[in-house]
Structure 1
């Protein structure tokens, strides 16, 4: 190919490999598309923007995305682009069993294949319920086209008996109140309809709102993406602007990798700390960085977020909900509060730097968003713990924990998986007291499989009846971003991978030291080796399908629980035509 050919092709749209051909293939691509009513001028050099939609009626949080896609479409048309919507597998945490995390990597493969194999120049990702956000980002990152993300937004605040109630967080509180005899079953049921009263995702700072907010910190979403309520007209306007901006990004050749740099990930870690965001952000950001080949590790969560206090008074760490957060200034206001801790030169999908994006942000309610010098809670980041019980790391969310349990020593009470937990946790004769450390294992990426959100073990009934509301809990599982308590999660390696958690026995002493970042099993090394020699190897019950592929290839939590063969992007190459 001559230098002149290179010059001719450098500004060529990717979609031209399909629609710009003057041969039988071009005839097929254009002719079949025209059966949907598309006119000839749509195929004449307009940027083709894919609207990647995770809409599904089985995913309540994403049930309104079909309507939101129409606003994206209008924005694409307004900018002179050609919008084409396509579906991908959706993940709804409220309905799917055993856990949507089992399918996050599968959806990422669906997104990657759909983008790569089709005539797309840029992409708008429509997401909502929490795993659809990382899954879509991971898949799109592996192709690395100009990409912008639009979240569906949180539900309106729940209201019951004159007070606000929040998704997930109050479900947990109500459930424990019923178990303790402090709330009737009838009251529990009456709160049900009052909690989820509009379209949208959880209105607490759970994983859905955390990831939607962190996308602002990453620069991959427009300002206000994190907090505008789902039913607010400004959410529709944001979708319109995203469609319009996607066309401009194609023309400017701004790829995902131009936005999602190491600086962007460190900014997101600091934002997560200030928000008191979900521990699930750890596995999602690590996996996303892995797809891009960005140097970013578990230790970066501790190092970058350690000196950032929690500024957001939001459930589960506080009392307010996402609607209040939006009216208080939302994510831009929090970013402005911690601006001196951020890399403000990081680029965003707006085409401007992060510093320029948050330049005029203001806080409108200091009871919702606190100042940096007088924060809501002093500890906001994710603490990464290490020791002989978690040699590759474990995490805890200090803002959601009980302060006097952050340094603790107690004897272990071990549960060998969710069935064992369910069978014994209500036992009135359970040998437990307030100093006991509850240990749940075989619930990690391989062991469950999928690393379900069951790490916040219920407090044993006998302890609830004594008024004990929190205990130290340790597992290789995850917990919902709406949950709270002194809960150590993501212990790596997990028990099913032969990690030390598999060696713990009931009665062993465990030491937790969050300030010292230490998690220690007080057992001699030679005794641990004897136990390891007796340990039966993990045998997966799955012999076919996705579950088998997942168990055979999933990595551990400390690197994001992605599949090993998906790590590292492969770019936007155009698949060859059939012959």
Structure 2
């Protein structure tokens, strides 16, 4: 690589008019000429900073630490913005725009003079969108996560995002006043960073670390900890060497790396959203991953990390206990230890000296926090292409259950009926929500963990089986079946469920079935008429036309497959 011409020199190394144009306007920022002579790799800092994305609102400051590292290592840092997706604010759901953001990232990298990229990610969808986009270009790339927020305190107890669901139930039943609710808001979100439990944001940070795309401890250092800035500085230094070594993403993102990530996610009790995002990234790289891999590689791994929502504690606590390297060391006999990572070392090298400092936070393989973990993939006549459930966050007594269906045709019907005292529902019922899949409610919102009826909450019922073609927040919990595929909006079997039907869930045997005859199923299928969706312009129209189903990662069909890093020819 030492004698290889830097990619950025296709712009800055030109003579005549073209070189003049590429360099001159850059010099209006006070950049001296020697920065463009091809001796310093140009490092793009892909920043998802936005005040509308609270999890990433500290990224301006974090980017400065990255730049210091790049300069120190002899690189030339240039920061650029891309679309930022704030999970808690953006409507109708951030997932609708993940693919759009990935296109922004891909084309921004491909079209601009950079030799390597730091991907600054935090809030849930910013990580997969940046990795998906960068994977499609395949330059040396290193992921820097923003870090979890510090654990909140409310009425003498630690709290985090997982408590939102509990607070909502207490508010619904009068145990918590509106004034207390507002007090809890500030108490929970008391520092910079993303959600404090092992929600989707921290699951994504762990995903990139276990894939080898991030430096060790990336997943757990709190955002407010000065060591997060140190990591940013070190990431800036390391990406310069990655360019010199030509350590591109395809050398890291192998089939074995994806298998490692699935096992690590199981050990963490990570978000079910992990399946959609890891699948999409794998398909961008041309790596063959499907739902059977998630079930197979999760099944052998127990829950090692005692972190909410599957456990009791928080990601901040996990860092103090040894972080992700310590968790990975507990399952290292199952991992592919020879997988290369961004620091040039193998996974085995990176975890070989990891220690656990608190067995309340990190169990062992022989004595885990829970025997069941990961993600179970269900098949049956209700989900021919699969559905998923997180056993570690479910109620054991409901993992094998048969009950009558209580059907909500869409989210609006659910909201209108759920607290009606005359709703025919009890704790043995199976709640079913339709039309919240990738196309039915464009973007597949996080509404799968439906709140329980008030009359059952007042009886002390805390969990019921809930089934949908949608998603749920990684901070959510319960016996919740998600990602039913194919979705109801396109005529998947979920569309045919009627009130009173019996539904059988058998997680140990990976089965989910609607207990009607094949003849009745065909009769209902013949009568099915898809709803007309009111989207006929712009990005949402493109999404509906080109999006794949949940078992395929909800990516666009035309983005599947890596397309290389060739430079588009300019017309100057």
Q: How does 1:403-422 map to 2 (within 5 A)?
A: 403-422=396-415
| Superposed CA offset, 1:277-335 (max 9, x none) | 00000000000001000111111000011010001111111221111110000100001
Question: Please, which of 154, 168, 190 is the counterpart of residue 197 of structure 1?
Answer: 190
Look up the match of 1:330. 323
CA distance in 1, matches of 2:129, 2:224: 24
Matched residues in 2 for 1:572 and 1:181: separation?
A: 57
Could you tell me which residue of structure 2 aligns to residue 97 of structure 1? 91
1:139-288 equivalence runs, <5 A: 139-167=133-161, 169-288=162-281
| Structure 1 residue 447 displacement after superposition | 0.7
Q: Distance in 2 between matches of 1:455 and 1:537?
A: 21
Report the alpha carbon displacement of residue 176 of structure 1 after superposing the two structures with TM: 0.6
Residue by residue over 1:438-458, the C-alpha shift from the partner in whole angstroms, topping out at 9 and shown as x without a partner, is 000100000101000000011
Give distance in 1, aligned partners of 2:386 and 2:210.
Answer: 25
Q: 2: distance between equivalents of 1:432 and 1:128?
A: 39
Gaps of 5+ in 1: 1-6
SS at match of 2:548: coil
Question: Which residue of 2 is the match for residue 52 of structure 1?
Answer: 46
**CA distance in 1: counterparts of 2:447 and 2:360, whole angstroms:** 31
TM-score (norm 1): 0.98
CA distance in 2, matches of 1:131, 1:228: 19
Please state how far the C-alpha of 1:222 moved relative to its aligned partner: 0.3
How far has the Cα of 1:507 moved from its partner?
0.6
- 2-side partners of 1:412 and 1:558: how far apart? 24
- The 5 A counterparts of 1:287-366 are 287-366=280-359
Shift of 1:247: 0.5
1:75 alignment partner in structure 2:
69
**Equivalent in the alignment of 1:550:** 543
Shift, 1:23, TM fit: 2.0
CA–CA distance in 2 between the matches of 1:574 and 1:185? 56
Q: Separation in 1 of the partners of 2:562 and 2:460?
A: 51
Task: State the 1:44 CA deviation.
Answer: 1.1
Match of 2:126 in 1: 132
1:520 aligned to 2:513? yes
Equivalent of 1:119 in 110, 113, 122 = 113
Query: How far apart are 1:252 and its partner, in Å?
Result: 0.1
Q: 1:541, CA displacement in angstroms?
A: 1.0
| Superposed CA offset, 1:201-250 (max 9, x none) | 00110000011011111000000000000011100000011111111000
Report deviation, 1:174: 0.6
Separation (CA, whole Å) in 1 of partners of 2:43 and 2:571 = 24
- Deviation, structure 1 residue 514: 0.3
- Corresponding position of 1:535: 528
SS in 2 for 1:341: coil
What SS does the corresponding residue of 2:169 show, helix, strand or coil? helix
Partner of 2:471: 478
Deviations 1:484-542 (A, max 9, x none): 00000000000012100001001100000000000000011111111111111242210
- Residue deviations 1:355-400, cap 9 Å, x none? 0011110000100111111110111110000000000000000000
Matched, 1:16 2:9: yes
The Cα offsets for residues 16-63 of structure 1, whole Å up to 9 and x where unpaired, read as: 100111121111001110001111111011100000000000000000
Residue 365 of structure 2: aligned partner: 372
Q: CA deviation at 1:183?
A: 2.3
3-state SS, counterpart of residue 504 of structure 2: strand
Equivalent residues of 1:540, 1:551 under 8 A apart: no
Contact 1:430 1:462 in 2 (8 A): no
Give the equivalent residue in structure 2 for 1:4. none
- In structure 1, what is the Cα distance between the partners aligned to 2:411 and 2:91? 14
- Asked if the contact 1:379/1:398 (under 8 Å) is kept, the reply is yes
Distance 2:283 2:511 in 1: 26
Deviation for aligned residue 1:184: 2.5
Tell me how large the CA RMSD over aligned residues is.
1.0
Structure 2: 5+ residue stretches without partners: none
Q: Distance in 2 between matches of 1:180 and 1:276?
A: 29
CA distance in 2, matches of 1:577, 1:103: 29
Work out the CA distance in 2 between the residues paired with 1:177 and 1:317. 20
Task: Show structure 1 runs of 4+ deviating over 6 A.
Answer: none
CA drift of 1:550 comes to 0.3
Give the conservation status (yes or no) of the 8 Å contact 1:263–1:346. yes
Question: In the alignment, what sits opposite 2:390?
Answer: 397
